[in-house]
Structure 1
Amino acid sequence: MKIDYKKLRILFFPVLLPLYLFISCSGTTEDPLITDPPVEETGNEWVIYEVYPGLFTEKNVFNEVASRLDDLEKLHINVIWIMPVYEQGELKAIGSPYCIKDYKKLNDDYGTMNEFKSLVTNAHAKGMKVILDWVANHTSWDNNWIENKSWYTQDTNGNIVSPPGMNWNDVADLNYANSQMRLEMINAMKYWITETGIDGYRCDYAEGVPGDFWEDAIQELKAIKGDDLLMLAEGGNTNLFSYGFDMVYGWDFAYKLQDLYSGKTTVKSIFDTHQKEYQGVPEGKQRMRYITNHDMASEHSPLQAYKGEKGALSAFVIAATMGGSPMIYSSQEIGYPSALSFFGFREIDWESNISYFDQYRMIMDIYTSSEALRKGELKSYDNTGKVISFLRKSNNEKVLIMVNTSDQVQETKIPIEFAHEKGKDLTNQSTETLPSILTLQPFQFKIWQL
């Protein structure tokens, strides 16, 4: 389900740090400003791929997804998140996969239980976790649970209602004051782990469910799966980590990145948002970082949001390398040009843009082979223009990333500490001397190992 976190952003005033003048192309002489203190990224090294089954085929979806595991392995994916695979409701329904009729039954169009189990087994053989989308806030109106009226939220006249204020009229809101419903929900979540061996859940609208339920559910699931359990929350608040979630969305970062490419915000705001999202994140936990997901892609493709293939690729470089756990939504790696609704089927030709896929593969090769990019400190440089510049540093490695976020040629100064130093361009493995003035073509990016 879509939540407009953009509207829910909380305004904040960053802590003012001592300022030095930025070396501009007009002739100032000081070093570029480091805008924030180092932020060290820690935690497991997840690379997520979101699967919408409706983009694969109208029948035998699980087999089709399994046939793409080799390609996903080339992207270094180690977590496959599959959007809801359960039987969908029909009463008052509008075709949403988040309208669940039966939590323990597969959507017949997607395949059989044996085919799903085979997909999980094959993914595990490649070192990939499989997590399912879980919809705990509501059910369809024809879910069998509806017979237990007390399991649902009711108005003053005793009528079951949809989730208040969300305009989701195709679903009925669950009542978490009812202990029986809670137990049955946890029982259903246990079912897929014990029956199919999946590794956890991406939890839809996690902030629409009481935190103490998530605490109970995650504790119960860990009793089965142990530390191998992976729980991802759709939400923005850091308190979700305290309930036991391992990873939480980076909603603000994704929207801020789109704003940057549309000219609505500045490079500095990206750094500020990154720092804000990581305040209060416990050690070992992560934000999920992305340039699109099923909600965003239903409005516009990455090519539309970031001004073409080159723009979308450059935005992904920022999202994947600044920090957090990178996520790729099925279709972005081949540069699908238009919006993709997740209501119904639209079969994708996964071989339609191999050269673009290879560029994603190159970026993920760089990311996964670099200790600094996966878990190093972040140092950002204040650039009042259109080029975003930052350093990721670990004990053994430094990586400097510079990205032109505009469709115009840009000149910018290399941070003075690295000007005229030797660096290895990780996009082509060549060694070069970094200039003092860097010219970047529209949406060009540079990734140097120093």
Structure 2
Amino acid sequence: MYAPRPAVTLTHPDWSRNAVLYQLNTRQFTPEGTFRAAQAQLPRLKALGVDIIWLMPIHPIGEVNRKGTLGSPYSVKDYFAVNPEFGTMDDLKAFVAAAHAQGMHVILDWVANHTAWDNALTRSHPEWYERDLDGNFRPTPWWDWSDIINLNYAHAGLRQYMTEALMYWVREADVDGYRADVAGFVPLDFWNTARTQLETIKPVFMLAEWEMRDMHYAAFDATYAWTWKEAMQKIVAGDADTAVLFNYYSWNESAYPREAMRMTYTSNHDQNAWEGTEYEKYGPAREAAIVLEVTGEGIPLIYNGQEIGNPRRLKFFEKDPIVWPAGMSAETQMLDEQGEL
């Protein structure tokens, strides 16, 4: 009766322990911007030491209030379809299978908090959306994301729909989990239930774009180490000394469960597009920051292009592929010709 109960009830997949994550922006990863073209690069990612590939949202993008020419991949038009810009469902399955064959795993970016204005749910279930005082759909109020509208998780039907959508991609495409966009804007009890349901199919890895202790108990394996990143940037800017980093590690050890995985990073799609390249943010301390990220406490993230020191901010709403060194393309072509892919 009085015996302590474990706070953490989830079990991390064995393959996720001490993993290196790689965020792949399909649109910009190759000149073609497709799953098929990205698949040809898998041997290189394996050689780099990547364990988990995080694919940015793979769904069709809304057209109403679209930003730029191609739109934001976080403006989801259909949770059960593949963006034709990237290829087909068969192409996605082939990418996942090829990654598995090389000992890597694949997680999808999942946008549960909001949808595009022209998502079919706006017509079939308009009651599932937040409304403003005039009764209109409510755009996300933070930043300038006028291309998306917020969902309302007070509805059991929405929770069931979204959970079934999450299960669909694990079952049909054999993906290995999810990175949850703005996870803290969605009720935690939804994520707890979704994790339980996903585990009925196979062990999954769940990464939350959030920083909160309780997310680690039953829903998420890993959360963003925002405070680590902020500490590093304060040190580089001369606004703090290394004590601020010591404070992070002390806080993390004291406040978070021992089982919690914290994702450290110096760049990602948000950082690169809106805050600046790693050169802009870290300057001459860039390499030291990356070394600490990779060798220190936590699981490290590589944003595509970091491995070659990509110096550019990649456009978010347009086609703007990474410029890879010629040797990488030649190596990929050689492997392809030898039939090793």
Fold match, TM over 0.5?
Answer: yes
Query: Structure 1 residue 193: deviation in Å?
Result: 0.5
Q: Which moved more, 1:144-153 or 1:236-245?
A: 236-245
Q: Which residue of 1 aligns with 2:105?
A: 129
Residues 37-436 of structure 1 correspond to what in structure 2 (within 5 A)? 44-57=17-30, 59=32, 61-94=34-67, 95-147=71-123, 148-225=125-202, 228-298=203-273, 299-308=275-284, 311-351=285-325
Give the gaps of 5 or more residues in structure 2.
1-15, 329-341
Which SS does the other structure have where 1:201 is aligned?
strand
C-alpha contact 1:254 1:290 (8 A) present in aligned 2? yes
Q: 1:253-292 CA distances to partner (integer Å, 9 max, x unpaired)?
A: 1122122122222111112122223433223320001111
How far is the alpha carbon of 1:130 from its aligned partner?
A: 0.2
- Secondary structure of the equivalent of 1:258? helix
Equivalent residue letter for 1:168: W
Q: CA RMSD in A?
A: 1.7
- TM-score by length of structure 1 reads 0.66
Q: More helix per residue: 1 or 2?
A: 2
Rounded to whole Å, the distance in 1 between the matches of 2:253 and 2:294 is 15
Larger Rg: 1
Amino acid aligned to 1:294? H
SS in 2 for 1:223: coil
Q: Are 2:29 and 2:304, in contact at CA under 8 Å, matched by a contact in 1?
A: no
CA contact (8 A) 2:30 2:38 kept: no
Give TM-score scaled by structure 2 length.
Answer: 0.86
When residues 137 and 114 of structure 1 are mapped into structure 2, their CA distance, relative to the original with a 3 A threshold, is same
- Indicate the structure whose relative CO is greater, using CA pairs within 8 Å and at least 6 residues apart: 2
Shift of 1:100: 0.2
Which is further off, 152-161 or 128-137?
152-161
Give the direction of change, closer, same or farther, for the CA distance of 1:279–1:163 in structure 2 (3 Å limit): farther
Higher strand proportion (structure 1 or 2):
1
Pair 118,292 (structure 1): closer, same or farther in 2 beyond 3 Å: same
Q: Please tell me whether the aligned partners of residues 300 and 340 of structure 1 are also in contact (alpha carbons under 8 angstroms).
A: no
Runs (4 or more) in structure 1 with deviation over 6 Å come to none
Whether the 8 Å contact between 2:60 and 2:76 is mirrored in structure 1 is yes
Distance (whole Å) between structure 2 residues aligned to residue 281 and residue 122 of structure 1: 35
Query: How many residues get paired?
Result: 308
Consecutive unaligned residues of structure 1, counting only runs of 5 or more, are 1-42, 355-450
Say whether the 8 Å CA contact 1:254–1:292 is kept in structure 2.
no
Please say if residues 106 and 113 of structure 1, whose CA atoms lie closer than 8 Å, have aligned partners that are also in contact.
yes
Distance 1:339 1:277 in 2: 31
Identity of aligned residues (%): 37
